[in-house]
C-alpha cells in the first residue's frame, strides 16, 4: 500500500512538485491527515492526476475510511485504467465493504465489452474508435474504387465494424457514467421510496458501495444500485466519482 513518489528533488515554495513530494514524505511518516491537506492543495489548484488520486486513496485507506478510499481509487482508475497497483488496492478495499450487492448479470457480449474496453480511458477509446472508423471507410473506398475481391474484404470490414460498434457502446457508457457514478462515504445511507426524510425506507447502502445517479432533486439523488434497485438518498452521504 505504497504511494507514488514522482519527485525526489524539489525546491521549497509553492511549487506543485514540492507540495506533492512533501505530501508523500508525510505519508511515509504516517501523517495521513497532513498528507491529505497537501494533496488537497493540489486539487484546489486544479491539478489532477491518477497518481494524486491513488495517493489520496491510500491515505484514506490507512485512516480506515473505506468510502473515500474507494472514491479516490475509482478516480485514479478512470485516468490510469491499466495500473496494476491501483487495481489491486481498489479490489482489496472493495473486499472490505460491510455488505456487498451482486450486480445484475449482464449478457455475455456486454461482459466482453466491459472486460476489454475497461482498460482504456475515454480519450484513448475515442482515438481508437476514430482510427477504426477511418480504416473501415478507407478499406470500403478502396474496395469500390479498385474493385477488390469482396469475399476477402467484406469479412475484414465486418470485423472492423463490429469492433468499432462495441467500442462505441463502451464509450457511451463511460461518458454517461462520468459525473453520475457515486460512492457512499458515510457509514451508511438510507434509500427511500420518496425524496424526503420521512419517506418509507427501501434499502440501505453502506460505506464504499457504488451507485449511479438517475435524477437530482434538491438535497436528494435518485440512484440505481448495482442490482438495479432504485431509491432516493441524501446527497450529503455520497460523493461523485
pLDDT at 108: 65
Cell of 186: 458515510
For the structural domain made of 181-240, what CATH number should be given? 2.30.30.40
Distance CA 72, CA 141 (A): 46
pTM of the model: 0.84
- Residue 107: pLDDT band (50, 70, 90) is low
Residue ranges covered by each domain of the chain: 16-95, 108-177, 181-240
SS3 71: helix
Tell me the percentage of the chain whose pLDDT exceeds 70: 89
Distance CA 10, CA 23 (A): 12
Asked if the domains at 16-95 and 181-240 fall in one CATH topology, the answer is: no
- Residue 179: pLDDT band (50, 70, 90) is confident
pLDDT at 206: 93
Query: At 65, which helix (H) or strand (E)?
Result: none
For residue range 183-236, list pLDDT tens digits in order. Answer: 999 999 999 999 998 899 999 999 999 999 999 999 999 999 988 899 999 999
Q: Give 46's contacts (C-beta < 8 A, 6+ positions apart).
A: none
For residue range 27-61, list pLDDT tens digits in order. Answer: 999 999 999 999 999 999 988 899 999 999 999 99
Task: Give the residue among 84, 94, 27, 22 at the shortest CA–CA distance from 50.
Answer: 84
For residue range 71-101, list pLDDT tens digits in order. Answer: 999 999 999 999 999 999 999 999 998 777 6
Whether residue 11 is predicted with pLDDT greater than 50 in this model: the reply is no
**Range 15-22, long-range pairs (CB < 8 A, 24+ positions):** 16/42, 16/45, 16/47, 20/52
Average pLDDT over residues 147-155: 84
Burial class (CB in 10 A: 0-12, 13-18, 19+), 145: exposed
pLDDT at 8: 42
CATH architecture for segment(s) 16-95? Alpha Horseshoe (1.25)
* β 210-217/238-240 pair status: unpaired
Cell of 99: 455488505
The helix-helix angle for 66-79 and 50-62 (nearest 10°) equals: 160
Whether residue 12 is predicted with pLDDT greater than 60 in this model: the reply is no
Amino acid at each position: 500500500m505504497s504511494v507514488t513518489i514522482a519527485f525526489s528533488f524539489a525546491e521549497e515554495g509553492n511549487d506543485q512538485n514540492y507540495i506533492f513530494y512533501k505530501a508523500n514524505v508525510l505519508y511515509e511518516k504516517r501523517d495521513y491527515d497532513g498528507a491529505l491537506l497537501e494533496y488537497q492543495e493540489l486539487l484546489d489548484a486544479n491539478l489532477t492526476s491518477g497518481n494524486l488520486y491513488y495517493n489520496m486513496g491510500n491515505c484514506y485507506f490507512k485512516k480506515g475510511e473505506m468510502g473515500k478510499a474507494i472514491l479516490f481509487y475509482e478516480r485514479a482508475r478512470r485516468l490510469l485504467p491499466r495500473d496494476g497497483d491501483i487495481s489491486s488496492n481498489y479490489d482489496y478495499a472493495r473486499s472490505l465493504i460491510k455488505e456487498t450487492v451482486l450486480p445484475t448479470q449482464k449478457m455475455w457480449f456486454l461482459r466482453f465489452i466491459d472486460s476489454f474496453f475497461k482498460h482504456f480511458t475515454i480519450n484513448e477509446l475515442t482515438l481508437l474508435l476514430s482510427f477504426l472508423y477511418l480504416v473501415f471507410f478507407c478499406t470500403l473506398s478502396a474496395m469500390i474504387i479498385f474493385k477488390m475481391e469482396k469475399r476477402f474484404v467484406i469479412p475484414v470490414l465486418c470485423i472492423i465494424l463490429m469492433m468499432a460498434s462495441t467500442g462505441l457502446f463502451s464509450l457511451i457508457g463511460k461518458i454517461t457514467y462520468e459525473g453520475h457514478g457515486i460512492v457512499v462515504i458515510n457509514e451508511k445511507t438510507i434509500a427511500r421510496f420518496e425524496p424526503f426524510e420521512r419517506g418509507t425506507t427501501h434499502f440501505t447502502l453502506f460505506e464504499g458501495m457504488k451507485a449511479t445517479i438517475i435524477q437530482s432533486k434538491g438535497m436528494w439523488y435518485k440512484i440505481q444500485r448495482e442490482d438495479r434497485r432504485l431509491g432516493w438518498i441524501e446527497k450529503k452521504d455520497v460523493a461523485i466519482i
